[in-house]
Amino acid sequence: MRDSRWSKIASGIGFAALALTLLSPIRAAVADEAPALPAYMTATSPDAAKPLWPDATGANAGYWTTPSPGPVGDGDPAQLTNAQLYDRIAHNTFSINMVWTLVAGFLVMFMQAGFMLVETGLCRAKNASHTAAMNFMIYPLGCLAFWVYGFAIGWGNWWNGPVPPGWYASLGPGLSVLNSGVGLGAAVDAAGNATGAYTYGLLGMKGFFLDGLVGDVSVMAFFFFMMVFMDTTATIPTGTMAERWAWKNFCLFGLWVALPYCIYANWVWGGGWLAQGGINWGLGHGAVDFAGSGVVHAMGGMIALAGGMIIGPRIGKYVKGKPQALPGHNVVIVVLGTFILAFGWFGFNPGSTLSGTDLRIAFVVVNTMLAGVTAAIATMLTLWAKGLKPDPSMLCNGMLVGLVAITAPCAFVDPWAAGLIGAIGGVIVVYSVFFFERIGVDDVVGAISVHGIGGLWGVVSLGIFANGAYGAGWNGVVREEMVAKYGFDGVRGLLYGDPSQFVMQCIDAGTVAVFGFAMAFVWFKVSDLITPLRVSRETELDGLDIPEMGALAYPDFAVHAPTVHGTSSEVAA
């Protein structure tokens, strides 16, 4: 989600054509002359001493249609020049894209409610208040960290990432202020001056605390959308580590999680070295992850895996080495939470176009829906094939893993492939849940399997099923041989003539698995030295609601007996 390449290329071509028609006479002697586009299409200030961006009102991104007379209004529409009409068309395009992105972000934010219901329902009643509170507080804690340092690290040099010819920023020219970072191999222009780009981008370095240097309307919209995505990653480990994670340690985690997330996000979405794999190594279009199977979900799943291994299983989960069922207390809210998440995914995936004028969103919506439903059905069939009942909580995880898996390839595959990707995910999640349980990793909600394994499958599946119909010039890759063969160079996978894309996707999947797990493993070890990672045995047996939070989720019901001499006789799970 560095940006929706195809939408911006297509729109860029449209703007260029419009500019040729409205702004410039056709000169036969210079048939291939570039159109004289307005400054807001190139993000180039006419007077370098008076930069137009950052722009706190959007006034420098075309012109807001104003049906009134006077020097600031439109006056007589019939008297508007072609250039003035172009200004209004462009401003409306930016406006449509911004509203679309913000509304999609609102849906993604609401997914936090879905996560809270799923995770709380799958926990025992004595821990419901604690689990719900973790899902609530990870939002402000993660947002704070993202505002302080995360956004700058992830997207501070976004503008200097690899882009194709005809590209423009769908949210407006103000994104050009995200132009400072660090990397290897600094690029220079013809005069020998550093451009801000790198052969291998590593980190962004602009936008800490959203300071005045990035105080632009486009940056604000971009920040909001990226922040709610990060909070999805942040909430995944709370499901795995529920029912024994100490509150203070969790709070430290909430302030830390933006670090690994945003570093890796820079490498894929911020124009970093994985995105540059196509240009540098000739591997497809570089790492492609449309809405975050890897950046969001696999990262969260790998952090959850490290946390689950280090915190250890819940008391009573294993008896003589054999896993025991510790049923959640409310399947109904688990199902409700799953529906909320599925609804929010229609903001998560289509919103990642960052462009309401990119009509590919129709394919993204349908592919997202199909992957979720085929995954749920495949999970049910797999349970039956194993001689098991269709456990509603597992069916919910089936739908969720399908949604996770399609998140990376949703814009690049045919509907039949989306259904197949989801179905394969629905089978994988069943075996994955039982595998991790068997080897001693107590994952309360199955988050490692849904988000970690499902996310890795989604990243790799793009390298298999991408059909080349979308993403021309993605990550700045335009290969003449592909253009000659297919008419344009869209993102295509193994089945459609580009095995190098599959290789790049495998590199990307391996990177997020190793980097995410390693960073989290070290963090949980270190944070445990600062404040304990796990609650005491007595607290765990009694339930975390009163000892950790001071409030029972269900005060009108007895959920456990009081502790006597360091033990507890549980009345209800």
419-436 confidence digits (pLDDT tens): 999 999 999 999 999 999
Model confidence at 12: pLDDT above 70:
no
Give the pLDDT of residue 25.
Answer: 40
pLDDT mean over 410-422: 98
Model confidence at 565: pLDDT above 80:
no
Neighbours of 152 (CB within 10 A): 26
Give the pLDDT of residue 561.
Answer: 53
Determine if residue 64 is left, alpha or beta; phi over 0 gives left, psi from -120 to 50 gives alpha, anything else beta. beta
345-382 confidence digits (pLDDT tens): 999 999 999 999 999 999 999 999 999 999 999 999 99
| Domains of the chain by start residue, with CATH | 93-530 (1.10.3430.10), 537-573 (no CATH)
Give the pLDDT of residue 569.
Answer: 41
Q: Do 368 and 292 meet the contact criterion of CB atoms below 8 Å apart?
A: no
Model confidence at 48: pLDDT above 60:
yes
DSSP 57: S
Of 12-21, 38-47, 106-115, 516-525, the least confident: 12-21
The two beta strands, 194-204 and 318-319, are unpaired
Model confidence at 239: pLDDT above 60:
yes
Confidence of residue 2 (pLDDT cuts 50, 70, 90): low
What is the rounded CA–CA span in Å between residue 140 and residue 142?
6
Tell me the one-letter amino acid at 294: G
Q: Which of 466, 476, 354, 468 is nearest to 3 (CA)?
A: 354
Confidence of residue 563 (pLDDT cuts 50, 70, 90): low
Q: How far is CA 544 from the centre of its chain?
A: 31
Model confidence at 18: pLDDT above 60:
no
What is the rounded CA–CA span in Å between residue 33 and residue 14?
16
Give the pLDDT of residue 74.
Answer: 85
Q: Which residues contact 117 (CB under 8 A, 6 or more apart)?
A: 333, 334, 336, 337, 340
Structure tokens at 153: 């690290």
User: What average pLDDT does the structure give for the chain?
Assistant: 92
290-309 confidence digits (pLDDT tens): 999 999 999 999 999 999 99
Q: Do 379 and 397 meet the contact criterion of CB atoms below 8 Å apart?
A: yes
Classify burial at 508, counting beta carbons within 10 Å of its beta carbon; exposed 0-12, middle 13-18, buried 19 or more.
buried
Q: Do 235 and 301 meet the contact criterion of CB atoms below 8 Å apart?
A: no
Between the alpha carbon of residue 521 and those of residues 143, 251, 297, 310, 513, the distances in Å are 22, 17, 17, 8, 12
The two beta strands, 194-204 and 322-323, are unpaired
Given CA atoms 345, 349, 354, 355 in this order, what sign does their dihedral have? negative
86-97 confidence digits (pLDDT tens): 999 999 999 999
Give the SS3 label for residue 564: strand
Q: Which of 515, 491, 396 is nearest to 446 (CA)?
A: 396
Q: Which of 178, 350, 392, 383 is nearest to 271 (CA)?
A: 178
Q: Which residues contact 426 (CB under 8 A, 6 or more apart)?
A: 374, 375, 376, 377, 378, 379, 382, 398, 401, 402
What is the rounded CA–CA span in Å between residue 164 and residue 147?
30
Angle (deg, nearest 10), helices 331-348 and 361-385: 150
Structure tokens at 529: 């030295």
Between the alpha carbon of residue 375 and those of residues 336, 344, 351, 403, the distances in Å are 18, 17, 22, 8
What is the rounded CA–CA span in Å between residue 376 and residue 368?
13
Query: Any idea how long the chain is?
Result: 573
Model confidence at 167: pLDDT above 90:
no
Structure tokens at 141: 């804690």
Tell me the one-letter amino acid at 203: L
